[in-house]
């Protein structure tokens, strides 16, 4: 499934919440949706979830214009809002059963799907608990289970990790990766950029409703460097003196930059991954006792800080 958001505009009075926003992603990808508070993330997600209509622009799922056909689009969307279930007087199981019925699942298929989702989201043990008795983390799980109950190909998740403890975050990350591996397209907004960077295939960065960057992480990191040679960012740790390693790296023609970073040295190697392999060989030739050599993902957090100004509207 291809998701295309084209030239989306939405204003509330004089506030332009979304301003000419365009981006796209597809099945099997996890896209991070990042921006400062009040940048228009939730508004965009609500439009994509058919809860709001834009003033202008289109949002298409495999060519289906969801603005004009919200009912058809709803079958394709699993939306997990930033707030939690409001049906306080229902048990977890009854809550999921209601939404399964609401999405038209019947008989054994409904029961089977609920069982499967409760298993997947680890809710089996608390299925008879009332929603009002659940912790925030548990409610997030229920919310995710609800979004998955009709097996939608697209998941829209607004701050799903907010308020979760570290274990729950790791579990959520694993769940999302598993869902992406199943072929679902996932758009996830979060403020926890380090976590997003670990699981996202791409990102959409917005500020004041306007798009700043969009694309796969590689495209975003290499934005503005299209005409330059590719490079690899690596971290190296040896049993030897870091200063000596630092100096040695700076003397190598393939190394563009090098800097000391705590107990290791980070370097930018000009060229593709073969260039990185050649660098290891060269270091070993020079007698360095390398104990760690790894590619470093570019830092989404740093990138976010670089491209946004922190303005809100």
Q: Which residues bind another protein (CB under 8 A)?
A: 6-7, 9, 11, 20, 46, 49-51, 53, 55-58, 60, 62-65, 67-72, 74-75, 77, 79, 81, 83, 86-87, 89-91, 94, 97-99, 101-104, 106-107, 110, 130, 146, 150
In the complex, minimum distance from the CB of residue 137 to another protein, in angstroms, rounded to a whole number: 19
In the complex, minimum distance from the CB of residue 264 to another protein, in angstroms, rounded to a whole number: 46
Contact status, residue 251 vs residue 258, Cβ threshold 8 Å: no
Residue 254 phi, psi (nearest 5): -80, -15
Burial of 223 (0-12, 13-18, 19+ CB in 10 A): middle
Q: How far apart are CA 226 and CA 100, in angstroms?
A: 47
Looking up tokens 């000009």 gives 270
- Nearer to another protein among residue 20 and residue 278 (C-beta): 20
- Nearer to another protein among residue 104 and residue 183 (C-beta): 104
Angle (CA) 69-70-71 rounded to 5° is 95
In the complex, minimum distance from the CB of residue 94 to another protein, in angstroms, rounded to a whole number: 5
For residues 169, 170, 172, 173, the Cα torsion angle rounded to the nearest 10 degrees is: 120
- Nearer to another protein among residue 58 and residue 177 (C-beta): 58
Burial of 21 (0-12, 13-18, 19+ CB in 10 A): buried
- Nearer to another protein among residue 20 and residue 282 (C-beta): 20
- How is residue 190 annotated by DSSP? -
- Nearer to another protein among residue 53 and residue 302 (C-beta): 53
In the complex, minimum distance from the CB of residue 17 to another protein, in angstroms, rounded to a whole number: 12
In the complex, minimum distance from the CB of residue 222 to another protein, in angstroms, rounded to a whole number: 26
Cα 141 off chain centre by: 17
- Nearer to another protein among residue 127 and residue 237 (C-beta): 127
């Amino acid at each position: 499934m291809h998701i295309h958001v084209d030239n989306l505009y939405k204003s509330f009075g004089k506030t332009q919440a979304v301003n000419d926003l365009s981006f796209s992603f597809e099945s099997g990808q996890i896209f991070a949706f990042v921006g400062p508070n009040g940048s228009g993330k939730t508004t965009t997600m609500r439009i994509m979830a058919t809860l709001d209509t834009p003033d202008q622009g289109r949002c298409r799922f495999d060519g289906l214009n969801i603005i004009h056909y919200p009912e058809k689009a709803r079958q394709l969307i699993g939306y997990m809002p930033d707030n939690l279930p409001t049906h306080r007087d229902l048990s977890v199981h009854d809550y999921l059963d209601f939404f399964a019925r609401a999405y038209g699942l019947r008989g054994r298929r409904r029961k089977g799907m609920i069982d499967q989702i409760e298993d997947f989201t680890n809710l089996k043990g608390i299925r008879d608990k009332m929603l009002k008795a659940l912790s925030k983390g548990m409610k997030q799980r229920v919310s995710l289970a609800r979004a998955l109950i009709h097996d939608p190909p697209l998941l829209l998740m607004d701050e799903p990790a907010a308020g979760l403890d570290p274990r729950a975050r790791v579990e959520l990350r694993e769940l999302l990766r598993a869902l992406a591996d199943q072929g679902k397209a996932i758009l996830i907004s979060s403020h926890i950029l380090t976590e997003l960077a670990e699981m996202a295939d791409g990102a959409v960065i917005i500020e004041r409703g306007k798009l700043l960057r969009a694309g796969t992480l590689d495209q975003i990191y290499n934005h503005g460097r299209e005409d330059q040679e590719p490079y690899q960012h690596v971290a190296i740790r040896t049993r030897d003196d870091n200063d000596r390693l630092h100096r040695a790296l700076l003397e190598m023609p393939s190394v563009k930059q090098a800097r000391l970073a705590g107990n290791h040295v980070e370097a930018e190697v000009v060229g593709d991954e073969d260039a990185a392999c050649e660098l290891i060989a060269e270091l070993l030739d020079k007698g360095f006792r390398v104990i760690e050599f790894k590619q470093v993902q570019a830092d989404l957090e740093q990138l976010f800080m670089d491209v946004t100004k922190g303005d809100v509207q």
